[in-house]
Amino acid sequence: MSFDRTKLGTSDLEKYFHNNERRLIHKWNHYFDIYERHFNRFRNRPIVILEIGVFHGGSLQMWKDYFGNKVQIHGVDINPDCKKLEEDQVQIHIGSQTDRAFLRKLKEQIPKVDILIDDGGHTMKQQQTTFEELYDHVKEDGVYLCEDTHSSYWIEYGGGLKRRKTFMEFSKNLIDSLNAFHSRQGSFKPDSFTKSADSIHFYDSIVVIEKRKRTAPIDLKSGEESFPYDYHHNGSKTKYRILLSINKVLQFLRLPGFIWR
């Protein structure tokens, strides 16, 4: 495919890609800006990267060029031929991303990672198993990125719109966990994800989780009130309690909430 180079992006990663004459890289054109947004702060630092899915090894070379001579890169692929793609700063591990025993052994063999990129087989089981086993191996200020999540809408990968157990539906549930500090339901409590994820970013075909150790947020106020304010928004504590009771029933029945106007 030919490109009009006057219309190409200007990021370092995109420049590398379009000038690449080394090993094959396969990316969607909008990925580079996403990488830059989340990876730039790690450049020229002594970091560890883990990429699931080696393919022809081109992206490993791209990361090495982008992050500099202090980066340590680990690639995982099920294809044993990928082992010969090792080079300085790049180590390849052969195994399946659905093999939990392999992933657990991998965690024993490599240090905690600053960036994890899941560009593996893209099936629902592969993406979810990788997240379940390796999310905790990303450092507390690191980045977990899963790409090609459009496979959640492809039937042959186990996907489909609103289909249960796709990676996108799985990721949507993580939004609830992210907000669990604000739960008023006994059955919905903060978990390890709540306490370790700072943000979740949804892009076309990419989900990014920025990690950061968190504690329950504190509700603050400053300044003087301009006028009396009804924090129950209804003028009556009794009315508020009735409204709360009604909505507890509606919530149990999974029906939309009711608000007095």
Domains, the chain, ranges and CATH?
7-211 (3.40.50.150), 230-261 (no CATH)
Phi-psi region of 32 (alpha: psi -120 to 50; beta: other; left: phi over 0): alpha
Both tokens assigned to 196: 């370790």
| Pairwise CA distance, residues 45 & 67, whole Å | 7
For residue 116, give Cα distances in angstroms to 39, 138, 185, 200: 11, 7, 33, 14
pLDDT digits (tens, 9 = 90+) for 122-155: 999 999 999 999 999 999 999 999 999 999 999 9
Tell me the catalytic residues. Answer: 122
Residuewise pLDDT in 10s, the chain (261 residues): 444 444 556 789 999 999 999 999 999 999 999 999 999 999 999 999 999 999 999 999 999 999 999 999 999 999 999 999 999 999 999 999 999 999 999 999 999 999 999 999 999 999 999 999 999 999 999 999 999 999 999 999 999 999 999 999 999 999 999 999 999 888 889 999 999 999 999 999 999 999 999 999 999 999 998 988 766 555 677 777 787 788 778 777 888 888 776
Cα dist from 10 to 32, 94, 202, whole Å: 10, 35, 23
